[in-house]
Amino acid sequence: MKLFSCLMALILLILQAVPGLSLPKDTLRCVGYHGFCFRSKSCPKPFAAFGTCSWRQKTCCIDTTSNFHTCQDEGGHCVPPKIKCLQGQVGLCPHREWKCCAEV
């Protein structure tokens, strides 16, 4: 029994030590954009919805008062990487590979 409890403690330590090992992909993306996971479907002020967390069970919310504004908030459009922007725009897109364009 003592060996089992030591083994479980070691497993928990490894899961805590390795960042992102036990987190879902949508949660990692949210945290990568400096977002927070909320249980409610709508985000409290001054946050804006930016996708999902915890296998689509929670809402990813980003702070609109920080430097991490969404593309649409800045007047841009999120486009896939295949499309070329005539003019780039600063802002976050829901898909990491996509880019924010002022004009397409």
Smallest Cα–Cα separation from 79: which of 54, 53, 101, 51? 101
Is residue 8 included in any domain, yes or no? Answer: no
The answer to whether position 28 is within a domain reads: yes
On whether the CB atoms of residues 91 and 72 are closer than 8 A, the answer is yes
CA angle 43, 100, 82 (to 5 degrees): 125
Asked if the structure places residue 11 within a domain, the reply is: no
Give the pLDDT confidence of 34-65 residue by residue, as tens digits. 788 888 888 888 888 888 998 889 999 887 77
What's the token pair of residue 97? 């590979």
Residue, of 18 and 90, whose pLDDT is higher: 90
Domain that holds residue 53: 24-67
The answer to whether 54 and 81 have CB atoms below 8 angstroms apart is no
68 pLDDT higher than 80: no
Q: Judge contact between 39 and 47, C-beta under 8 A.
A: no
Verify that 57 and 74 share a domain, yes or no: no
Cα R_g (the chain), whole angstroms: 18
Could you tell me which residues come within 8 angstroms of residue 15 by beta carbon, excluding any fewer than 6 positions away? 21, 22
Q: What is the pLDDT of residue 59?
A: 92
Which pLDDT does position 65 carry in this prediction? 75
| pLDDT the model gives residue 77 | 85
